[in-house]
Amino acid sequence: MYDRFTTQRLIDLWLSEDIGSCDLTVQVMIEPTETGAFRMNARESMVLAGIDVAAAVFARYEPRLSIRVEAADGDRVEKGATLILVEGPAQGILTAERTALNIVQRLSGIATETARYVDIIKGTRARLIDTRKTTPGLRMLEKHAVACGGGLNHRLGLDNGVMIKDNHIAVCGGIAQAVERARRKLPVLTKLEVECDRLEQVREAVAAGADVIMLDNMPVPEMTEAVAYVAGRAKLEASGGIRYETIRAVAETGVDYISTSKITQSAPAVDIGLDEA
C-alpha cells in the first residue's frame, strides 16, 4: 500500500546518492555492449517486502533490462528462493544492484520482524500496529512493510489523526477540555485518541468521548482493569515497553491494538544477494 509516483521520486534520490558522477568501477571495467543475467536470492527465511520497489530501481536506471519478479510482497519465502531474475546490459545491473538490495533488505527485515510479533499474539483479539518512529524519507515504504508482515498502520503522519498527549492536556487544562477543543474543528471522518497512563485518566477519556484510548506504559493488571471499565466504549491501544517477552501478556488483557516502534526502529535487515544466473 504505497504510491508508485512518490516511490519513483525516492528511487531517483537513492540512485543519485549512490552513483554520484558515475559508477567508476563499472565505467572502467565493463563495456556498454556486455550483458549479464543475475538472480536476486533469499539467503535466509523471511517475509518479503519491497520486491517490486527493488525491481523498479533496476528498471529506472536501465529501461532495457528484462526483469521478472518471482515472489510477492507478504510472501514467506525460504532460504534459497529466487526473488527476481534480471537480464540485459551488465553496466545497468551492476550499478543499480546495491540500491535495489538495500531497500528490499530493509523492508523485508521490517516485515519479518513484524510477523514475528504477530505470530506471538495469534489467538487474541489484539492487532499489532506501528508508530511514527520510522526512517525519515522511508515512512510510506516502511509502513507498507509492516502491513506485509501482518501488522496494521497507525497514523501515517501528523495530519492523519488527532493524538492528545500529556503536554496537550497540560496546555488545555485537562482531558475533557482538550477533547472538547479538538472536537470543535475535527474533520468528520477523523479519529481522536487520548494518551492515558493512569486509570483515572482512562475514566476521564471515556467520559469525554474519545474514540481511542492509549494505555501508555501501564502495568498489565491496570490494563486489565481498563479493559473491563471501558467495556467497548472506546478502542484501547497498549503502548510502551512492548517486547517479545511481554507482548502476549499484554494481548491477553483484551486490548484492541498493541503498538511498538521496535518493528521499524529495531528490525535487522535480512540477507538477500544478487548472484549470476
Q: Which position among 195, 204, 237, 256 bears the catalytic label?
A: 195
Q: Which ranges constitute the DSSP H helices of the chain?
A: 4-19, 24-29, 51-61, 90-120, 139-148, 166-172, 175-185, 199-208, 220-230, 244-251, 262-265
Tell me if residue 216 is catalytic: yes
Residues in Cβ contact with 262 at an 8 Å cutoff, skipping those fewer than 6 apart: 113, 117, 242, 243
**Residues near 254 by beta carbon (within 8 Å), at least 6 away in sequence:** 125, 224, 227, 236
Distance, C-alpha 266 to centroid of its chain: 11
Q: Which of 62, 130, 216, 237 is catalytic?
A: 216
Sequence-ordered list of residues with C-beta below 8 angstroms from that of 224, at least 6 positions apart, any chain: 253, 254
State the Cα–Cα distance between residues 251 and 201, nearest whole angstrom.
21
For residue 140, the tally of other CB atoms under 10 A from its CB is: 16
Q: Is 113 a catalytic residue?
A: no
Strands 235-239 and 257-259: parallel
Sheet holding 257-259, edge to edge: 127-129, 257-259, 235-239, 212-216, 192-196, 162-164
Q: Looking at 133, 155, 181, 248, which residue is catalytic?
A: 133
165 catalytic per annotation? yes
User: Residue 120 is placed in which grid cell?
Assistant: 506471538
Which residue out of 43, 98, 203, 262 is catalytically annotated?
A: 98
Catalytic residue among 132, 165, 181, 191: 165
| 133 contacts 264 by C-beta, under 8 angstroms | yes
238 within 8 A of 247, measured Cβ to Cβ: no
Q: Which residues are catalytic?
A: 98, 133, 165, 195, 216
